[in-house]
Amino acid sequence: MKRRIIAVFLFVFVFSGCAGVVIHDNLEVPVGTVEGNQFTGIRYPFKINAPPHWKMVTEFPEFLKELGYDEPGPSDKEVTELYIFNPSTRTTIQIDFTPASSKAKFSQEKMEGLVTAATGGFKQELEEEHGKGIQVTIGPTEPITLKGVQYAAKKYGVYTAKGMKREQGWIYGFTEPYQLFILYVIVDKEGNRDREDMKKVLESFEVFSKK
């Protein structure tokens, strides 16, 4: 799932004349550090907090395969920097940075166009996994404010799979000289506060200046 959505971003981005040469992550640089409920990035300069009962890890959690996400392979040149999740509900946030070409041209309008363009790949992936009869309600394209990020937009879909209602969304943003992808799944379970917790997590997200 993750690869399909991000591939759509990059395909549209390149062929709309926004991007130059694709630049990959420098995997020799450490991802960052988790101290208590806060992550501070080293490879990319961002920090974020999670609720005490959530977890933050830099390695792929196995349960994400059940939600339709692909585990990175040893030859992958792009990797997710951070996974944040509620172990009891499996509501999850994935944060992925990659360098942007110096030739790239960004705007809020392009961000919103790109998250909208990813809708087709999202629906296709769900149909391949759950069958063509799956019903998906697509939410509106929305701008989103993230600290230290120049432009960002959000899109999501709501569907029921294996008897569980889920909201699955994607956020695409740019802050010079990086582009960022945030993918999330909210698993609705009676009585949980995951939606409120996720809002607080995203409010704590900040890209800071390297010194």
Q: What is the pLDDT of residues 144-158, one digit of tens each?
A: 999 999 999 999 999
Q: What is the pLDDT of residues 174-189, one digit of tens each?
A: 998 888 999 999 988 7
Domain extent at residue 166: 2-207
Q: What six digits make up the tokens of 188? A: 């609705």
Query: What mean pLDDT is predicted for residues 47-76?
Result: 85
Least confident of 2-16, 65-79, 181-195: 2-16
Q: What is the pLDDT of residue 78?
A: 62
Binned at pLDDT 50, 70 and 90, residue 64 comes out as confident
Exposure of 170 in the CB half-sphere (CA atoms within 13 A): 28
Please state whether beta strands 32-35 and 38-41 pair in parallel, antiparallel, or not at all (unpaired).
antiparallel
Q: What is the pLDDT of residues 79-129, one digit of tens each?
A: 788 999 999 999 999 998 988 877 778 899 999 998 998 888 888 888 888
Q: How many domains are there within the chain? A: 1
Q: Identify which of 173, 172, 201, 157 has the alpha carbon closest to the alpha carbon of residue 68.
A: 157
Q: Label residue 148 exposed, middle or buried (CB < 10 Å: 0-12, 13-18, 19+).
A: middle
Look up residue 93 and give its amino acid.
I
- 195 alpha-carbon distance from chain centroid: 16
Cβ atoms within 10 Å, residue 89: 18
In percent, the amount of the chain with pLDDT more than 90 equals 51
Residues ≥6 apart with Cβ < 8 Å to 151: 106, 107, 108, 110, 111, 173, 174, 175
Q: What is the pLDDT of residue 27?
A: 73
- pLDDT of 169 > 80? The answer is yes
Residues ≥6 apart with Cβ < 8 Å to 179: 97, 98, 99, 100, 104, 106, 172, 173
Query: What mean pLDDT is predicted for residues 169-178?
Result: 91
Least confident of 53-57, 75-79, 90-94, 198-202: 75-79
List the CATH number of the domain containing 127: 3.40.1000.10
